[in-house]
Amino acid sequence: MKVGKNIKKACQLLFVSFVIFGVSTDSNANTKVCKTGDNSRVEVSKKYSSDSRLEGFEICGLGKRGHLKERSNNIFIGKQDAIDYIKNRLLNFDKSIKVSYESGNEGDRLNKHDIEAIRNSINKTPGMYRILESLDIKTGGRYFVTNGKTLYRFRVDIDVDYRITKKQRQQYLQKVDEWVLKNINKSMSDEEKVKTIHDWVVNNSVYTLGNITKSGVNVNKKGINVYSPEAIMLTSKTDGGTCEAYAGLFYDLAKKSGLEVYNVIGNTKSKKNIGNEIKYKKVGHIWNLVKVNGRWYHIDVTMDDPVYIIVSNSGEYRKNVLSYDYYLKTDSFMKQGNLIHEWNKVDNPNMPNVSNKNYPQKYKNTM
């Protein structure tokens, strides 16, 4: 099952590979009485003669749900314990994860909804937003009957690609801590914090899609994935990244500064007049919501970092701009103009309700 989410395509493809179930009726096999997480008792076979790969596994529960210890062969009782183990391995940046689990329910096979739940859980973990590039998952299993009971054993193998390395993420989180300690203090209002973060992100980055490596990853001049906030925080302001890097960095700095913040997944539509027709170009995009004085507002640091081409007698040159065009705005504002923002509840199920009034505009765009 290949799971990957790319904001440019705003879609997700799921491919599932299952191993056919086999059956082993092993009534004479050695059994061991174990307690499961809910303290019920179940007899499980210690040896399965139909599959040599499964010989010799001990499969007893080790405590109440939520407190199961990792076993030497990564075999768990119940799907949820296997999911918890997978989450922990992902947070540790493991590139290869193998886990088996037992269940009396055939429907407990890992499915695409479970994978999406795992992805969402990782994305909601502070400092880990969208670190997963792709998950290549193979699932399968067997069932066997012992002493009149049917028990299913499921196997999950996962190969993971991360957008950044564990070391890069550790360096990034340290930089975020240092930046907040230096630039944010408790006496600042919500809006003062937002402006400080907004201005720094805009002034210290440039939008780029980077270059594509042989493995198909877009990286900036420093070789860092342009879809990660590390592309901005760990490089110079001439290297940069995409909207995901901008929004991700704003999110982490705002969170660390004590602000409530949310990432919006959607599109932008740019309007162009071609002859007598109006044409729209749609591009996948991500931006933020931030809570100021008890009200939520849109903020798009990517679009507030435009580049102007200045033409003079001596030639052309690029000029970066610090803009406030998309600073603390309403839904209706974001849905109008030459650059229309679009989003939906499917991609943003927990999106907060936004204020119906723009925050009072105090600042002018500067070059």
pLDDT score at 15: 27
Neighbours of 13 (CB within 10 A): 11
HSE toward the beta carbon, residue 58, CA cutoff 13 A: 8
**For residue 250, what pLDDT is reported?**
97
pLDDT of residue 94: 94
Confidence (pLDDT) at 314: 60
Q: How many CB atoms lie within 10 A of CB 129?
A: 19
Give the number of other Cβ atoms within 10 Å of residue 167's Cβ.
9
Task: List, in sequence order, every residue forming a beta bridge with 340; answer none if it has no partner.
Answer: 269
Q: Which helix (H) or strand (E) holds 75?
A: strand 75-77
Chain-centroid distance, C-alpha 48: 39
pTM equals 0.73
Question: Topology of 166-343 in CATH?
Answer: C8orf32 fold (3.10.620)
CB distance 81 to 135 below 8 Å: no
Q: Which residues of the chain have pLDDT under 50?
A: 3-72, 309
Q: pLDDT per residue over 113-163, tens digit each?
A: 888 788 888 877 767 877 888 888 888 877 777 677 788 888 888 899 998
CB 245 within 8 A of CB 229: yes
The mean predicted confidence, pLDDT, of the chain is: 77
Q: What is the pLDDT of residue 316?
A: 52
Q: Rounded distance, CA 367 to CA 211, Å?
A: 27
* 28 C-beta neighbours (distance < 10 Å), count: 9
Q: Write down the domain spans for the chain.
A: 2-162, 166-343
Task: Give the pLDDT score at 74.
Answer: 52
pLDDT on residue 77: 78
